[in-house]
């Protein structure tokens, strides 16, 4: 049995690595095809009607696919595993195909969702079918699905430790202690394959173990600063849009998805016209801000922050297929970069891109309730104690302050309507 589990881990890692690399490259190809080149360069040259039509048509297709198979929007790893064990769900090859198509359309058309949710789902589906092929005991389904999700996240982030910590924070710790070795095996193999095709998020300005007290002092000021934006995001998502969904559209529940699809297409189209950088997954923004030394105007930074907050929340309610990990990181990176610029002007001589790295990890960690993943992510991408220490302190305190007015549950996408 032990040998079978090792083989299952290796197969899941290999297949997930190639599948996720194909998935990411497919998104890039479709994006360039739809927008006739690099969207950040071509969008200003395209007709306005076309900019609105692309996300609107895409989200209607995604909603249609979701109506055909509701499981393409399932990303809660525990929920998936328990549903399969209780015979309430079957992950078919058709579901895997639909999930890739729906997610690719959502991301390539400009919706501010991430690739990690679908990647975890794709990895989980692959592991589920490996489990069936090898005829492993039913009691190992949850382990295999968790193993696959870990491999999927490790591959898409080109980051094995992030994938492992993602799985740890999604599954009971006692369960992890029993099966952590197989999670590590699958994640590392998937990472080893994906790194040949995909580009990891890397911080090129690391000071390593050198501690700069200016960053520690500045971080204390950063905590209330980023908490304000966490409140803004949660207010828009949990209070305003949730109210609209439940109250205003309550009498039109039959047409709810169509209304939000139109609203989502219109909002994303407008965002693309105003500033294309505020749309899509946000990976490019994160990589640019944490490594870019040239000055970025503050007005542009906070304009994109506001647009990305609106775009991310609207994408969720419009039923775009994707996660929120990367979009939240991009919002946090923008907030951190803007804060760093303000500190340089008015207080301490700090580098803005340091706070971009801190903000990216903290904002994601608080909203998704993944403090350990946030800390591991900051360590693995920067290898800088200034970033790791600040992230560890901030992610706990900002989550604590946010809990005064909001209940944050561990959730990665909205539930299917």
With beta carbons less than 8 A apart as the criterion, state whether 365 and 385 touch.
Answer: no
- SS3 category, 292: coil
What pLDDT, on a 0 to 100 scale, did the predictor assign at position 417? 41
Tens of pLDDT, residue by residue over 329-348, are: 999 999 999 998 888 888 77
Sign of the torsion angle spanned by Cα atoms 348, 371, 22, 51: negative
Backbone angles phi, psi at 51, to 5 degrees: -65, -40
CATH of span 2-194? 1.10.3080.10
How high is the mean pLDDT of the chain?
83
**For residues 336 and 240, what is the distance between their CA atoms, to the nearest angstrom?**
25
With beta carbons less than 8 A apart as the criterion, state whether 361 and 203 touch.
Answer: no
* Residue 415, pLDDT above cutoff 50: no
Q: Which of 47-61, 78-92, 198-212, 372-386 has the lowest mean pLDDT?
A: 78-92
- Cα Rg of the chain (Å, integer): 21
Tokens at 291, concatenated: 């490594």
* Residue 165, pLDDT above cutoff 60: yes
What pLDDT, on a 0 to 100 scale, did the predictor assign at position 253? 66
**For residues 362 and 292, what is the distance between their CA atoms, to the nearest angstrom?**
20
Read off the pLDDT of each residue in 240-247 and give the average, rounded to a whole number.
63
Most confident of 16-25, 303-312, 397-406: 16-25
Which residue has 């492993």 as its token pair?
Answer: 136
Instruction: Provide, rounded to the nearest whole percent, the portion of the chain with pLDDT above 70.
Output: 86
Count of other CB atoms within 10 angstroms of residue 396: 17
Q: Which is more confident, 229 or 313?
A: 229
* Residue 411, pLDDT above cutoff 60: no
Read off the pLDDT of each residue in 88-116 and give the average, rounded to a whole number.
84
CATH 1.10.3080.10 in the chain, residue ranges: 2-194, 213-402
* Residue 163, pLDDT above cutoff 60: yes
Instruction: Answer left, alpha or beta for residue 140, where phi above 0 means left and psi between -120 and 50 means alpha.
Output: alpha
Q: Which is more confident, 116 or 399?
A: 399
* Residue 375, pLDDT above cutoff 70: yes
Which fold would CATH assign to domain 213-402?
A: Clc chloride channel (1.10.3080)
Tens of pLDDT, residue by residue over 8-25, are: 999 999 999 999 999 999
Q: Which is more confident, 254 or 266?
A: 266
* Per-position DSSP letters for 180-212, written without gaps between them: HHHHHHHHHHHHHHHTTTS-----TT--TT---
Which of these, 64, 30, 34, lies nearest to 272 by C-alpha position?
Answer: 34
Read off the pLDDT of each residue in 140-151 and give the average, rounded to a whole number.
83
Report the DSSP beta bridge partners of residue 323: 114
Give 412's pLDDT tier (boundaries 50, 70, 90): very low
What pLDDT, on a 0 to 100 scale, did the predictor assign at position 302? 86
Tokens at 152, concatenated: 């999927």
Q: At what angle do helices 352-367 and 371-382 cross, to 10 degrees?
A: 150
**For residues 55 and 74, what is the distance between their CA atoms, to the nearest angstrom?**
22
Query: pTM of this prediction?
Result: 0.83
Dihedral angle over CA of 395, 400, 403, 405, nearest 10:
-110
- SS3 category, 154: helix
């Amino acid at each position: 049995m032990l040998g079978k589990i090792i083989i299952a881990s290796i197969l899941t890692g290999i297949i997930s690595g190639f599948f996720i690399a194909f998935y990411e490259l497919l998104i890039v190809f479709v994006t360039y095809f739809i927008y006739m080149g690099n969207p950040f360069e071509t969008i200003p040259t395209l007709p306005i009607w076309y900019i609105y039509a692309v996300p609107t048509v895409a989200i209607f297709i995604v909603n249609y696919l979701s109506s055909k198979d509701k499981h393409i929007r399932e990303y809660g790893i525990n929920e998936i595993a328990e549903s399969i064990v209780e015979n309430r769900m079957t992950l078919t090859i058709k579901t895997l195909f639909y999930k890739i198509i729906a997610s690719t359309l959502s991301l390539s058309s400009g919706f501010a969702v991430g690739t990690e949710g679908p990647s975890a789902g794709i990895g989980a589906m692959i592991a589920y079918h490996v489990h069936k092929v090898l005829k492993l005991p039913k009691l190992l389904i949850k382990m295999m699905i968790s193993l696959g999700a870990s491999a999927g996240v490790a591959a898409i982030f080109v980051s094995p430790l992030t994938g492992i910590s993602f799985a740890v924070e999604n599954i009971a710790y006692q369960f992890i202690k029993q099966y952590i070795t197989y999670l590590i095996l699958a994640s590392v193999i998937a990472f080893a394959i994906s790194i040949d095709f995909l580009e990891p998020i890397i911080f090129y300005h690391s000071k390593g173990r050198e501690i700069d007290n200016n960053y520690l002092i500045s971080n204390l000021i950063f905590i209330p600063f980023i908490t304000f934006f966490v409140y803004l995001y949660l207010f828009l998502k949990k209070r305003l849009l949730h109210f609209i969904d439940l109250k205003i559209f309550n009498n039109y529940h039959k047409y709810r998805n169509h209304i939000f699809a139109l609203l989502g297409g219109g909002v994303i189209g407008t965002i693309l016209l105003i500033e294309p950088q505020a749309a899509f997954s946000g990976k490019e923004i994160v990589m640019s801000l944490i490594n870019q030394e040239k000055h970025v105007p503050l007005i542009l930074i906070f304009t994109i922050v506001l647009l990305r907050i609106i775009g991310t929340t609207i994408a969720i309610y419009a039923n775009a297929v994707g996660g929120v990990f990367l979009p939240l990181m991009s919002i946090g990176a923008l907030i951190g970069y803007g804060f760093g610029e303000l500190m340089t002007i008015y207080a301490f001589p700090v580098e803005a891109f340091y706070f971009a790295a801190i903000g990216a990890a903290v904002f994601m960690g608080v909203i998704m309730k993944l403090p350990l993943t946030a800390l591991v992510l900051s360590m693995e991408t920067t290898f800088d104690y200034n970033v790791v220490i600040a992230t560890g302190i901030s992610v706990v305190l900002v989550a604590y302050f946010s809990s005064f007015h909001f209940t944050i549950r561990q959730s990665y996408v909205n539930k299917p309507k």
